[in-house]
Amino acid sequence: MATDRFQAPDYYLLDDLLSEEHKLIRNTVREWVKKEVSPIIEDYAQRAAFPKHLISGLAGIGAFGPYIPVEYGGAGLDQISYGLIMQEIERGDSGLRSTASVQSSLVMYPIYTYGSEAQRKKYLPKLATGEWLGCFGLTEPDAGSNPGGMLTNYKDAGDHVILNGSKMWISNAPFADIAVVWAKDEAGDIRGLVVERGMEGFTTPETHGKWSLRASATGELVFDNVKVPKENIFPEIKGLKGPLGCLNSARYGISWGVIGAAMDCYDSALRYAKERKQFGRPIAGFQLQQKKLAEMVTEITKAQLLCWRLGVLKNEHRATPQQISMAKRNNVNMALEIAREARQIHGGMGITGEYPIMRHMMNLESVVTYEGTHDIHLLITGMHITGENAFGG
Ligand code: TGC
Ligand code: FAD
């Protein structure tokens, strides 16, 4: 990729709403992405390789558990800081943001929120430094949008349980040291437990052939009579609200993250439109291109405001799952539309790795599906405003 000349749009002077600490954190991550991610990410995505060497750097910028208390190795930051970190990482690449989202919101969050003190002490500090990488196993071959239909289960066997089943589409799985797994107990209740690499009967085959999130490693989790000590089960939490509680946190981070991808596409398209000449003038002078660019910056500004307000509500513990669904759905769709329009502004160059557009666009095709599809989030809003459940079942 050519030199990273990114300049973030801030049309409504939203920096005024951020504290000095927020801006410092945001700028630190922005510089790290420019230095460490932009120069290499296109090559890794083209080769469908996971840039494992960036894990310690991600830990260094505080991307693993930013809002987890310091005593457990986290950075003890607020929710707006978390959002800004996700935004800047996804400006680099959605796959890298996935790695950070999963580690923070889907592995550290449940261990911190649902785990015993011994589980917190054992896992959180190593996850925060990146010494251990985690993954989150909810989705199964026959249970995607409907995770309550999962088949993975365990049976009591004295001081341990015997776990059987499989999970698919699991981010980080091929490299993960531990997996937070959701499975049904003998009473049919969904419970969470930590499965460690090396436990007999536990394997993590990699998923190949993805056109999207190529710089993120995705795989399956296969459990064949795995003996898991009972001390690895989260003591209190029972039911679907356990995993869905983690998704609230991850979906919130994604709402911010995709603004980063959208800003990168807009910034690249704006610069290209000013520099590229056709018919004797910059294409930025044509009304059709201006319409695209003006709509992009308008949509980015609306998404930024939505996230900032959601962050304030989250800091005050007042953000509802339905508000988070609205932001995830709106912002991912916004970013995807901007990536598609930016691709057109770049003409033929837009399909090459010279520019980040096509990579962002393909990545966002996963982001619009994972953590609840575009349709599912609409149905969550629909149910909330009408009181009618349109999910079926
Ligand atoms: P339903 O009957 O509505 O609810 C069951 C229980 O859960 C509670 N609940 C929630 N709790 C916390 N947060 C939420 N967002 C919650 N939504 C529901 C609910 O109150 C109830 O509690 P209780 O005490 O009464 O038992 O459940 P349902 O079976 O009808 O399903 C509802 C539905 C469809 C909205 C939900 O299952 C859903 O969100 N489906 C989408 C699945 C999904 O998002 N999967 C994501 C997998 S992880 C992933 O994609 C990671 S990608 C990571 C990356 O790389 O970044
Ligand atoms: P399905 O649920 O089969 O949906 C197919 C289509 O039907 C969708 O368009 C959906 O909107 C629609 N649909 C489904 N139900 C309804 C309904 N009631 N009404 C109307 N339309 C409906 N999962 C994890 O647990 N951990 C991970 O780390 C993880 N990482 C992922 C990484 C990638 C790259 C991808 C692609 C997925 C990942 N997922 C992960 C899985 C992801 O959460 C699921 O793909 C997602 O929840 C959708 O499930 P599905 O693919 O089975 O689609």
Residue type, 11: Y
In a domain, residue 393? The reply is: no
Instruction: State if pTM tops 0.85.
Output: yes
CB atoms within 10 A of CB 5: 10
Supply the CATH number for residue 326's domain.
Answer: 1.20.140.10
In a domain, residue 9? The reply is: no
| β-strands 277-278, 218-229 pairing | unpaired
In a domain, residue 1? The reply is: no
Predicted local confidence at residue 3, as pLDDT: 83
DSSP code for 172:
T
Query: Can you give the residue range of the structural domain that contains 213?
Result: 134-232
Q: Which of 36, 88, 90, 371 does the annotation list as catalytic?
A: 371
Predicted local confidence at residue 129, as pLDDT: 98
Clarify whether residues 93 and 190 are in a common domain: no
User: In the predicted model, what is the mean pLDDT of the chain?
Assistant: 97
Residue type, 380: I
CB of residue 218 inside a 6 A radius of ligand 2: yes
CB atoms within 10 A of CB 51: 22
**Nearest-10 crossing angle of helices 79-92, 20-32:** 20
Predicted local confidence at residue 23, as pLDDT: 98
In a domain, residue 208? The reply is: yes
Clarify whether residues 347 and 289 are in a common domain: yes
SS3 387: coil
Domain boundary among 128, 145, 165: 128
In a domain, residue 279? The reply is: yes
Concerning whether 371 is annotated as a catalytic residue, the answer is: yes
Query: Helix, strand, coil proportions of the chain in percent (round to 5)?
Result: 55, 15, 30
Contact 56, 130 (CB under 8 A): yes
Domain boundary among 128, 162, 193: 128
Clarify whether residues 330 and 300 are in a common domain: yes
Contact 175, 143 (CB under 8 A): no
Total residue count of the chain as it appears in this document: 393
Q: How many domains does the chain have?
A: 3
State pLDDT tens for residues 293-342. 999 999 999 999 999 999 999 999 999 999 999 999 999 999 999 999 99
Predicted local confidence at residue 305, as pLDDT: 98
In a domain, residue 7? The reply is: no
| β-strands 178-184, 277-278 pairing | unpaired
Distance 148 CA to ligand 2 centre (A): 13
Which residue CA neighbors atom 5 of ligand 1 most closely? 240
Which residue CA neighbors atom 19 of ligand 2 most closely? 391
Clarify whether residues 246 and 378 are in a common domain: yes
Distance 227 CA to ligand 2 centre (A): 29
Which residue CA neighbors atom 54 of ligand 1 most closely? 98
CB of residue 391 inside a 6 A radius of ligand 1: yes
DSSP code for 48:
T
Clarify whether residues 350 and 255 are in a common domain: yes
Q: Which of 94, 81, 26, 22 is nearest to 364 (CA)?
A: 94
Predicted local confidence at residue 393, as pLDDT: 64
SS3 64: coil
SS3 163: strand
Instruction: To the nearest 10°, report the CA torsion of 264, 358, 85, 56.
Output: -130
SS3 225: strand
State pLDDT tens for residues 102-119. 999 999 999 999 999 999
Q: Which of 100, 377, 94 is nearest to 263 (CA)?
A: 94
Predicted local confidence at residue 211, as pLDDT: 98
CB of residue 169 inside a 6 A radius of ligand 2: yes
Clarify whether residues 246 and 374 are in a common domain: yes
Predicted local confidence at residue 278, as pLDDT: 98
Q: Which residues, 6+ apart, have CB-to-CB distance to 344 below 8 Å?
A: 292, 350
Clarify whether residues 376 and 257 are in a common domain: yes
Clarify whether residues 145 and 108 are in a common domain: no
In a domain, residue 99? The reply is: yes
Clarify whether residues 257 and 344 are in a common domain: yes
CB of residue 170 inside a 6 A radius of ligand 2: yes
Which residue positions in the chain have pLDDT lower than 70?
1-2, 393
Supply the CATH number for residue 161's domain.
Answer: 2.40.110.10
d(CA 221, CA 338): 34
Predicted local confidence at residue 2, as pLDDT: 61
Domain boundary among 232, 262, 277: 232
The structure tokens listed for 377 are 């989030």
Residue type, 34: K
Please report where in the chains the tokens 């925060």 appear, as a residue. Answer: 128
- Taking the CA of residue 139 as reference, the ligand 2 atom at the shortest distance is 25
Clarify whether residues 260 and 308 are in a common domain: yes
In a domain, residue 3? The reply is: no
Distance 371 CA to ligand 2 centre (A): 7
Supply the CATH number for residue 20's domain.
Answer: 1.10.540.10
Clarify whether residues 261 and 315 are in a common domain: yes
Clarify whether residues 249 and 376 are in a common domain: yes
